[in-house]
Amino acid sequence: MAGPLKLTFLRSYTTVDALPRTRSELALVGRSNVGKSSLINGLANRKSLAKTSKTPGATRLLNAYEIGKTDSGRWLMDLPGYGFAKVSKAEQAKWSVMLGEYLEQRESLAGVLHLIDGAIGPTPLDLDMVDWLREVGLPITFVATKSDKVKSSRRAKRRNEVTRKLGIEKSDVLWVSAERGAGLPELRSRIINLLEAN
């Protein structure tokens, strides 16, 4: 099990074309309020590495974080969330195009960490994203966030629901809590393995 990742925020990019070449990348994908920023902070065991917000849609750019030593060429990319962001339809459409270009064209993309809100389970938007990622042919690691928000009496039922809707096995979902640290060591190890395989 891996300890806190050495994550360094590099910069935010407004277009896919502006991204430099890298050795390998993993993309964080999920709904606007799934907790991507909190997860990044949890992976690094730092409170303010990624800006968190109570307003969905805080991530509006392609945010690049380097993993490991300087110039390792291994990046974790925080992509704009989809869904409930309180922005104009034109802005949402722009994000959608950016997501599509990145996920379909980025040669160094080793896979996707698809975050699902464990407290509510996969939404229709989540399932649409799953279909898209599978059509593109990207390896997907499913991460159920906010596991601490699921009552212990409902956990077994919720885990069954999540895997059934996603059409996968229970072992294919990593359940994590950024707030309490549950599941983070396993996720860190998975991230390292995926990046080092490329």
Query: What digits encode the pLDDT tens for the residues 57-72?
Result: 445 789 999 999 888 9
What value does the mean pLDDT of the chain take? 89
What phi and psi, each to the nearest 5 degrees, are found at residue 173? Answer: -115, 130
User: Are 140 and 26 a contacting pair, CB within 8 Å?
Assistant: no
Instruction: For residue 135, give Cα distances in angstroms to 41, 80, 129, 140.
Output: 30, 20, 10, 12
Q: DSSP label at 167?
A: T
Report residue 53's pLDDT band, with 50, 70 and 90 as the boundaries.
Answer: low
Please give the Cα distance from 114 to 121 (Å, whole number): 13
pTM for this one?
A: 0.91
Sheet-wide strand order for 62-67: 7-13, 62-67, 74-78, 24-30, 109-117, 140-145, 173-175
Query: What digits encode the pLDDT tens for the residues 92-106?
Result: 677 778 888 999 999
List of domains in the chain: 7-196 (3.40.50.300)
